[in-house]
Chain A
Amino acid sequence: GESVGLHLPTLSVQEGDNSIINCAYSNSASDYFIWYKQESGKGPQFIIDIRSNMDKRQGQRVTVLLNKTVKHLSLQIAATQPGDSAVYFCAENPSGSGGYNKLIFGAGTRLAVHP
């Protein structure tokens, strides 16, 4: 069935290092992908998005890469900070969702940043 999954459930990094969080998706018809950050006790917070006609998009300290050939999505965080510690979700929006956000989320990766 349709699903969005993650390779690593937990990622530990040193403060200042770069982090890479990976995600595999299975619905080749999805045309829009989003990364969310969720801190304890809060709802998901939008980080960055990418459309299927792109393979890379950069934000402030974050970069999303999309490889449609192997249906893989990654989030790169530069100079990881303690405030980046959270659970990160990738989500896809199938193109047949009627133009609204019937998102399919993965299970999440916990990022732990150590000083």
Chain B
Amino acid sequence: DTGVSQDPRHKITKRGQNVTFRCDPISEHNRLYWYRQTLGQGPEFLTYFQNEAQLEKSRLLSDRFSAERPKGSFSTLEIQRTEQGDSAMYLCASSAKTGKHEKLFFGSGTQLSVL
């Protein structure tokens, strides 16, 4: 257990529905990341927060996706009007900057299946 919690672990939804995932990072970590992983592939960067500020969003994050970290602690990722292509594992990671490069601690992810 890395200390990063994600909820739910699994989500099955019908196409067109909205879904929301939650991530609770390690408490002292000020940086939070969302990645997406499809079967057989490595994770792909989606977005990054430093405290409550969202500092970068990937082009993978379409207008249907929105992420928030309102108090600089937990984060939510919402997907509106889900499509079958959204089916993937959504991974959250957190880190604390202690030097030029910091270690990412990943949660176990939320597996989304869009029917």
Tell whether A and B belong to one assembly: yes
Binding site for B on A (CB under 8 A): 4, 32, 36, 41-46, 49, 51, 89, 91, 93, 98-108
Residue of B nearest to A100 (CB): B48
In the complex, chain B residues 31-50 whose Cβ is within 8 Å of any chain A Cβ: 31, 33, 35, 40-45, 48, 50
CB-based contact A4/B42 at 8 Å: yes
Residue of B nearest to A91 (CB): B42
CB-contact partner of B45 in A36, A44, A45, A102, under 8 A: A102
CB-based contact B42/A101 at 8 Å: no
Taking A46-B103, A91-B42 as known contacts, 16 extra A-B pairs with beta carbons closer than 8 A to each other, sorted by chain A number, are: A32-B100, A32-B101, A42-B108, A43-B2, A43-B109, A44-B106, A46-B105, A49-B101, A89-B42, A93-B101, A101-B101, A102-B45, A103-B45, A105-B41, A107-B40, A107-B42
B104 contacts chain A at the CB level, 8 A cutoff: yes
CB-based contact B40/A43 at 8 Å: no
Give every chain B residue within 8 A of A45 (Cβ-Cβ). Answer: 2, 106
Binding site for A on B (CB under 8 A): 2, 4, 31, 33, 35, 40-45, 48, 50, 55-56, 91, 93, 95, 97, 100-109
Please provide the 5 A-B residue pairs with the shortest distance between their CB atoms, ordered closest to farther. Answer: A105-B42, A43-B106, A32-B101, A89-B42, A44-B106
Bound form: Cα–Cα A105–B44 in Å: 7
> Across the A-B interface, how many residue pairs have beta carbons closer than 8 Å?
68
CB-based contact B43/A105 at 8 Å: yes
The smallest C-beta distance from B5 to any residue of chain A, in angstroms, reads 11
Give every chain B residue within 8 A of A99 (Cβ-Cβ). Answer: 97, 100
CB-contact partner of A43 in B4, B48, B103, under 8 A: B4
Give every chain A residue within 8 A of B101 (Cβ-Cβ). Answer: 32, 49, 51, 93, 101
